[in-house]
Copies of this chain bind each other. A is one copy, B any other.
Amino acid sequence: MSDAPARRIVTVILCGGAGTRLWPLSRQARPKQMLDLLGGGSMLELTAARVADTNLFAPPILVAGAGQADAIEAALPRAGCLILEPEAKNTAPAIALAALAVDADDILLVLPSDQLIGDAAGFREAARRALPFAAQGWIVTFGMKAERAETGYGYIERGAELGDGVHEAARFVEKPDVATAARYVAEGRHDWNGGIFMMRAGTCLDALEAHAPEIAAAARAAMEGARREGRRLLPEAAAFAASPSQSIDYAVMEKADKVALVPVAIGWSDVGSWEALHAVSPRDEAGNALAGDVLALGTRDCLIRSDGPLVAAIGVEDLVVIATADAVLIVPKAHSQRVREAVEALNQAGRGELL
């Protein structure tokens, strides 16, 4: 390519997510990104593998909570710097720490660690298209093709085309109602905000200074006082504690001037529910996605997974069954968002050992 980068892209993999939507498999001590949901490695490992091409990508910077440090290092022994957030502060402060750990001209590609992308080549191709725009000071978001009227996502409206399939981002809309979401899908001018961004580190820091100066200041102070322990970088806790807790979307994207959008259709899923996992899993002729020690008889369109006891399902349909050694979830696929109710009830009942 004529516009091949002199400098490689520095990926920033955000590993701070907790999340309860895949309970009982996900736990506080084993968040979603550490789960191997499709048998090919954890979501974190798959995310790192997606940016393993050293011609295009430098070794990733990982941003995580201290509790996950050992697990992350074991999973990704060849990753780059591991920045350990003193506390979880949402994505804007986490990205600020990473931006401060590199040169201002480095191009950052920010990736959540808990997503699936079916078309890795398409993802890299989109990264190549985004790169010159990022180098010119644009914050480039990846717009995921809106496949259904999902109300749990943010949407980005496409503006004028800047060139090579890259558009201006006209507007961010967070979690629209179902009628609005349906209209977006019908009109085809809105993409899902998948939380994947590319920008110069300097662009990111400038935008934070402009639109979220308290975050920029806290991150800067925390990094000035940071300790290094081998691969690990430990920002100074008291300084970081002063940072507001905000998403990068809220802190920057919705306010900055030069925000661009690369619409992609790359088989993206954030696997935000067991139903979503069923949708992206290989399924047998009866529509079942089975994993682990499972016996399914006369069973259709189910997601059944065991990391513990044998699960014998007979004559059930459209059901999610997730078994671990200490907890079993049974919920209709269409209600799988209600897992949160179970987590909440267990929390209130003081059953922290199951969370």
A309 touching B325 by the CB < 8 A rule?
A: yes
Residue interface bits A88-100, CB-to-B below 8 A is 1, else 0: 0000000000000
Tell me which of B24, B295, B316, B323 contacts A342 (CB under 8 A): B295
Q: Does A276 contact B (CB under 8 A)?
A: no
Among the 9-residue stretches A77-85, A214-222, A238-246, A326-334, the one with 4 or more Cβ atoms under 8 Å from chain B is A326-334
Residues of B contacting A325 with CB < 8 Å? 309
Q: Which of A310, A328, A345 has the most CB of B within 10 A?
A: A328
For residue A312, which residue of chain B has the nearest CB?
B342
Chain A to chain B contacts (Cβ below 8 Å), 15 pairs: A295-B345, A297-B338, A297-B341, A309-B327, A310-B327, A310-B346, A310-B354, A311-B327, A312-B328, A312-B346, A314-B329, A314-B330, A315-B338, A316-B332, A328-B328
Measured CB to CB, the closest approach of chain B to A338, in angstroms, equals 5
Q: Does A321 contact B (CB under 8 A)?
A: yes
Q: Does A308 contact B (CB under 8 A)?
A: yes
CB within 8 Å of B: which A234-265 residues: none
Distance in angstroms between the alpha carbons of A354 and B321 in the assembled complex: 19
Residues of B contacting A310 with CB < 8 Å? 326-328, 346, 351, 354
Distance in angstroms between the alpha carbons of A306 and B330 in the assembled complex: 13
Q: Does A350 contact B (CB under 8 A)?
A: no
Number of copies: 2
Q: Does A120 contact B (CB under 8 A)?
A: no
Residues of B contacting A338 with CB < 8 Å? 297-298, 314-315
Q: Which of A310, A311, A342 has the most CB of B within 10 A?
A: A310
Distance in angstroms between the alpha carbons of A142 and B342 in the assembled complex: 47
Q: Does A126 contact B (CB under 8 A)?
A: no
Distance in angstroms between the alpha carbons of A327 and B338 in the assembled complex: 24
A309 touching B323 by the CB < 8 A rule?
A: yes
Q: Does A324 contact B (CB under 8 A)?
A: yes
Distance in angstroms between the alpha carbons of A295 and B350 in the assembled complex: 13
A335 touching B314 by the CB < 8 A rule?
A: yes
Q: Does A72 contact B (CB under 8 A)?
A: no
Residue interface bits A11-25, CB-to-B below 8 A is 1, else 0: 000000000000010
A329 touching B354 by the CB < 8 A rule?
A: no
Given A297-B338, A298-B338, A345-B297, also A323-B328 (CB < 8 A):
yes
A309 touching B328 by the CB < 8 A rule?
A: yes
Distance in angstroms between the alpha carbons of A285 and B312 in the assembled complex: 28
Known A-B contacts: A309-B323, A309-B325, A314-B339. Give 15 more (CB < 8 A).
A295-B349, A297-B345, A308-B309, A309-B324, A311-B328, A312-B327, A312-B328, A312-B331, A313-B330, A314-B330, A314-B342, A315-B335, A321-B328, A328-B328, A330-B330
